[in-house]
Amino acid sequence: MEKSIIYSRNVVFHAAVACYSNMMWIYSVVGAPSIYFGLNGSVFTKVAFFFCGSLILWLPLFLACIFFHGRSLKSNGDIDSFNALTDKEKGLAIGEYIS
């Protein structure tokens, strides 16, 4: 019988935070200067554009992390070892899978 992987809210939250923080360091290095020097507008407009852009880039990355991490657990042993982790460790494993 196939074993299943169930993600609780806590696991998804930790995965989202890990994925977002891993994406933000490179986005901040590349995106912040390009938005600051490339846009004409107030500081509020630049900050809002920066964070909206980060969310637009983060969502597909986060969904891909969840999808591909679920596909990577092929055997029952892999699923058992993943389920033995704490919620925070599970979230970090998922959030850092691609990023």
Give the structural domain span for 64: 9-95
pTM of the model: 0.85
CA dihedral 32, 33, 37, 42 (to 10 degrees): 30
Give the total number of structural domains in the chain: 1
Taking only the tens of pLDDT, the chain with its 99 residues reads: 567 788 899 999 999 999 999 999 888 888 888 888 888 888 898 888 899 999 999 999 999 999 999 899 888 888 989 999 999 999 999 999 987
How far apart, in whole angstroms, are the C-alpha atoms of residue 20 and residue 99? 9
pLDDT at position 1 is 53
In a domain, 59, yes or no: yes
Asked, for residue 2, whether it belongs to a domain, the answer is no
